[in-house]
Amino acid sequence: MSLIKIKFGNNFEEEFQKAVDEVFHLVIPAFKHHECIWKPNIDVYESLDEIMILADLAGLNKEDLHIELGRRKIKIAGVRNTIWVLEKGRYYLAEIPHGHFERNLILPTPVDAESAVASYADGILMVRINKLPAGKTHRIHVKTAE
């Protein structure tokens, strides 16, 4: 007898963990204060000439960001460290996620990776990338065989 593993969507495990955290958070508010993998909110905009990506990364140092760009995808990763306000205190509520994060996005159109420019200010990462021209053809010259 062979077993088949069924996966319920991409985020089932994450949603289940979030629901469990919320149940325990009602009983013990400090329960959610742990390092976890989190997903920052991201907006992707498209104009005629470029793709613009905004990521909500409040509390990060720009040195802790890692961005990789391909022709049709972008990876934004990094780490947000814990902010310790009180040395000897007890959390009543802890909702700000910290720890490692990674977002991999498929872009709506091919882009020119060489044109990418990233800036980070006021907790928002902005990446602007020029789109590759849509019907641009490249002529290949045929050489004579030697």
* DSSP secondary structure letters along 35-94: ---B---EEEEE-SSEEEEEEE-TT--GGGEEEEE-SSEEEEEEEE------SS---S--
Length of the chain: 146
Q: What is the pTM of this model?
A: 0.67
Domains of the chain from N-terminus onward:
36-130 (2.60.40.790)
DSSP state of 133: P
pLDDT tens digits in sequence order for the chain, 146 residues long: 555 544 555 566 667 777 776 666 555 555 444 555 789 999 999 999 999 999 999 988 889 999 999 989 999 999 988 777 777 777 777 788 888 999 999 999 999 999 999 999 999 999 999 998 876 666 677 877 76
CA nearest neighbour of 74 among 35, 38, 29, 110: 110
Q: Which amino acid is at 92?
A: Y
